[in-house]
Amino acid sequence: QLQLQESGPGLVKPSETLSLTCTVSGGSMSDSAYSWGWIRQPPGKGLEWMGTIYYSGSTYYNPSLDSRLSVSIDTSETQFSLKLTSVTAADTAVYFCARLSYYNNGGFSVDCFDMWGQGKMVTVSS
């Protein structure tokens, strides 16, 4: 059974870089049937898609994060990571990593986040 687990610091100072890693176990990350993403949730608020790294290596980021976000993948280590620079208090949130799966539905391909990590709370504070 595939499992995802976020890890990294729970406290980051303002203006510094937030770095998280998602470790994937029980399955391979190199399968082209999957891509990998990060979603966050500020306390008491809704979900925000941050970015996705596709099996091809291409990345797509939420424009709201400007150029602060980067996502990379290391298939040999079964991990992928997130780096968010110049953080502020507004970046305080639970950060989830997730698997993006593709399904053939009536002849067209749809994608959805079908496996999630438990989430990592990150607080930005001095």
Partner 1 sequence: DIQMTQSPSSLSASVGDRVTITCRASRTISNYVNWYQQRPGKAPNLLIYAASTLQSGVPSRFSGSASGTLFTLTISSLQPEDFATYYCQQSYTTPNTFGQGTRLDIK
Report which of 109, 98, 89, 125 is spatially closest to residue 20, judged by C-alpha positions: 98
Question: Cα-flanking dihedrals φ and ψ of residue 42, to 5°?
Answer: -60, 155
Report the site for partner 1 in 25-54 (rule: CB under 8 A): 39, 46-49, 52
CB nearer to partner 1: give 76 or 105.
Answer: 105
Q: Judged by CB under 8 A, does residue 80 bind partner 1?
A: no
Q: Judged by CB under 8 A, does residue 107 bind partner 1?
A: no
Contact between 8 and 83 under an 8 Å Cβ cutoff? The reply is no
The residue from 60, 72, 77, 83 that contacts partner 1 (CB under 8 A) is 60
The residue from 7, 23, 62, 78 that contacts partner 1 (CB under 8 A) is 62
What minimum distance in Å lies between the beta carbon of 98 and partner 1? 8
What minimum distance in Å lies between the beta carbon of 80 and partner 1? 16
The residue from 105, 107, 125, 126 that contacts partner 1 (CB under 8 A) is 105
Contacting positions for partner 1 (CB under 8 A):
39, 46-49, 52, 60, 62-64, 96, 98, 103, 105-106, 108, 110-114, 116-119
